[in-house]
Structures are given as structure tokens and as C-alpha cells.
């Protein structure tokens, strides 16, 4: 589905890189054990970033241990932080299920039939998650709201990209801030919101060629008319995407003020919002031949 929110690995310190990989490994392992083995193939960087954010905000105690990976047969350093993994895996399972459901509603004919065949698999994944009913209801509500907006929105000068992006952003916000209180909640929810908004808009930009050929819904095509309209306004889109990253960075900055803490998590997250997000944006622009580079 996604994968836009990841650090630029060459800019990380070696120990930060190891930590990042350990978190990835831990999350993959946890999902495989508690949700379904198939999630190990579907896992992507966005959820790793969410798990990292959660760990960093709640300062979860975690230890690194060496464990064997069945798919690489090598022993790997794995970080155990079950609290954050549990939440992230639950969110992952819900999103998979509701995305599949949404796909079925969107498609027609034989495709719809085949997609429906796969649904029990996703609902099985979803049903293995226990105790996150509130989160599930938020995700369900927002996905329905988004589907509703997609149906009713017509090309219009008053069309607000933010209103559509809001649905997905609220989903990520509620995942990031689930069960937190006070300062932690404020920071996690705002970081989550900005991540969600970023992912939604960059995903729309990435899919723009595909959607304009197939006629699928794409908020950027609605706002700017057609693909040439998008290209004419590409600076505006770039600005709004980097604005989200900047806002994410400045909100996360509140988390690190005045505390003695391990800087590794913070550095990875700052890397994601200051460098990684822009690198992903450049890559997307490059694939659209709009002058982005893969730096």
C-alpha cells in the first residue's frame, strides 16, 4: 500500500541503523506470531515508523536480542517492545481488512468476485486482534467517510485537499495516540496526523498517472482538473507535502526538549521527517519526470 515514510539509511549512524533494523525485525516477528504469517510479507516501512514513534513517545523499555529469522536463516538482532508492536500490528490488521473491503466496493464484475473470495482471509487477520474496538470503530468510520467524500466530490475551485486528507490523517492520528494521555497524547496525535496527511497526498501524487488513465478517484486530479493541471501546480503540491514534514518535525521537537534520553530514536525520526520524507517525494517526482532526483 505505502512505504513512503522511512529514513535515508546512509545518513544514519551505524547504531541507529541497527536499531531501525531491529525494530523492523521485531515488528515483523510479532505480526507473524500474533496476527498472521502473511503479514510478514505485507509489512511496510510506514508501520515501522509508527512503531518507532510510539516507542519514542512513551519511552518504552526495550531490549535487543539475537534471534533467527526463518526467511533469511541468519541470526538477526531483534528489538522486543511488545506494547508498541501490539498496537501497530492491530492497526495494520484493521487497515488491511478495511482497505480490502473498500477495494471490493470500488471494483466491478469478475474482479469484484475474486476480491470477495480473498475477504475471509483478511477478516481472519482482523479477528485475531483482540481489545482494540475503539480503534477499529475510528478506522471504520473514517474509511467510510472517505468513501463518501470520494463519491460526492466533483471538480471545483473550492475543493479542499485537506478535507479529504483529513480522513486518513485522523486514522493515523488515532493509531499513534491510542491510549495515551496529556503531553504524550498531544505530541503523538499531531505527529500521527501529519504523517497521515503526508502519506495520503504523496500517495495520490504517486498514483496520478495510473488514476488518470483508469479514471479512478484521485484528489489531486479533482483539485487541479487533469494531469497537466497537476504538473502546472507541482510547486504548490510540493510545498504542501514538505509543510507536513516540517510540521511533523516541529511537533516531534517538543518531545525531545529538556530530557535526558537516548537520542537514537529521535535521530531516526528526525531523519525520517527531515530527509527521508523529502527523498521519497523526490523519488515520486522523478518517476513523474518532474525534475526530482534520487538524492
Partner 1 sequence: MTDPYRVLNINSNATDEEVKQAYRKLAKRYHPDNYINNELADLAAEKMKEINAAYDEINRLRSEGVPGGGFSGGAGFSGGESGSDVYSRIRILLNSRRINEAEVLLQRISVAERNAEWHFLNGLVLYNKGWLQDARVEVETACRLDPYNAEYRAFLDRFSTGSAHSPYGRTYSGNGCSGCDVCSSLICADCCCECMGGDLIRCC
User: What does the binding site for partner 1 look like in residue numbers (CB under 8 A)?
Assistant: 11, 160-163, 166, 169, 190, 193-194, 197, 236, 239-240, 242-254, 256-257, 263, 266-267, 270-271, 273-275, 278
Could you tell me the CA-to-CA distances from 155 to 146, 220, 224, 226, 249 in Å, in that order?
Answer: 16, 10, 8, 10, 33
Give least dist CB 1 to partner 1, A. 21
Nearer to partner 1, 129 or 164 (CB): 164
* Closest CB 280 distance from partner 1, rounded Å: 14
Q: How far is the CB of 249 from partner 1 (least distance, A)?
A: 3
Cα distance between the two ends of the chain: 23
Distance of closest approach, residue 105 Cβ to partner 1, in angstroms? 27
Are 29 and 293 in contact by the 8 Å Cβ rule? The answer is no
CA–CA separation, 118 and 50 (whole Å): 27
Closest distance to partner 1 from the beta carbon of 137 (Å): 21
Q: Minimal distance in Å, beta carbon 208 to partner 1?
A: 17
With H, G, I as helix, E, B as strand and everything else as coil, classify residue 274: helix
Residue closer to partner 1 (CB basis): 166 or 203: 166
- CB closer to partner 1, 216 vs 239: 239
Considering the complex, state which of residue 243 and residue 262 has its C-beta at the smaller distance from partner 1. 243
User: By three-state DSSP, how is residue 226 classified?
Assistant: coil
Q: Shortest approach of partner 1 to residue 287 CB, angstroms?
A: 21
Cell triple for 274: 527531515
Asked whether 166 and 148 are in contact (CB, 8 A), the reply is no
| DSSP three-state, residue 155 | coil
Structural contact between residues 60 and 83, judged by C-beta atoms closer than 8 angstroms: yes
- Shorter beta-carbon distance to partner 1: residue 222 or 251: 251
DSSP character for 10? Answer: G
Q: Minimal CA–CA distance to 19: which of 215, 183, 240, 263?
A: 263
Distance from chain centroid for Cα 57:
17
CB of 161: closest distance to partner 1 in angstroms?
A: 5
* Other CB atoms within 10 A of residue 114 CB: 11
Q: How far is Cα 89 from Cα 126, in angstroms, rounded to an integer?
A: 10
Please say which residue, 205 or 273, places its beta carbon nearer to partner 1.
273
Quick one: 236 or 262, whose CB is closer to partner 1? 236
Output 158 or 214, the one with its CB closest to partner 1: 158
Can you say how many angstroms the Cα of residue 292 is from the centroid of all Cα atoms in its chain? 22
Q: In the chain, how long is the greatest CA-to-CA distance?
A: 59
Amino acid at each position: 500500500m505505502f512505504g513512503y515514510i522511512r529514513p535515508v539509511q546512509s545518513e544514519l549512524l551505524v547504531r541507529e541503523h541497527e536499531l531501525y533494523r531491529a525494530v523492523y525485525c521485531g515488528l515483523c516477528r510479532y505480526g507473524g506470531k500474533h496476527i498472521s504469517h502473511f503479514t510478514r510479507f505485507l509489512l511496510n516501512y510506514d508501520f515501522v515508523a509508527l512503531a518507532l514513534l510510539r516507542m519514542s513517545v512513551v519511552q518504552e523499555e526495550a531490549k535487543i536480542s539475537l534471534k533467527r529469522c526463518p526467511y533469511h536463516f541468519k541470526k538477526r538482532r531483534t528489538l522486543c517492545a511488545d506494547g508498541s508492536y501490539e498496537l501497530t500490528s492491530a492497526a495494520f490488521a484493521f487497515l488491511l481488512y478495511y482497505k480490502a473491503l473498500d477495494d471490493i466496493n470500488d471494483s466491478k464484475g469478475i474482479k469484484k468476485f475474486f476480491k470477495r473470495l480473498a475477504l475471509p482471509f483478511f477478516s481472519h487477520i482482523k479477528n485475531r486482534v483482540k481489545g482494540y474496538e475503539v480503534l477499529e470503530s475510528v478506522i471504520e468510520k473514517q474509511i467510510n467517510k472517505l468513501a463518501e467524500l470520494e463519491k460526492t466530490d466533483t471538480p471545483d475551485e473550492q475543493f479542499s485537499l485537506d478535507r479529504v486528507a483529513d480522513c486518513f490523517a485522523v486514522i493515523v492520528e488515532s493509531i499513534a495516540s491510542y491510549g495515551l494521555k496529556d503531553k504524550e497524547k498531544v505530541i503523538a496525535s499531531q505527529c500521527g496526523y501529519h504523517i497521515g496527511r503526508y502519506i495520503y497526498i504523496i500517495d495520490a501524487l504517486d498514483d496520478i498517472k495510473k488514476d488518470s488513465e483508469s479514471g479512478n478517484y484521485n484528489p489531486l486530479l479533482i483539485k487541479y482538473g487533469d494531469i497537466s493541471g497537476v504538473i502546472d501546480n507541482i510547486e504548490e503540491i510540493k510545498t504542501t507535502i514538505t509543510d507536513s514534514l516540517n510540521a511533523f518535525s516541529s511537533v516531534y521537537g517538543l518531545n525531545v526538549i529538556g530530557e535526558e534520553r537516548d537520542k537514537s530514536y529521535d535521530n531516526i525520526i528526525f531523519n525520517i521527517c527531515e530527509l527521508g520524507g523529502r527523498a521519497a517525494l523526490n523519488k515520486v517526482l522523478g518517476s513523474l519526470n518532474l525534475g526530482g532526483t534520487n538524492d
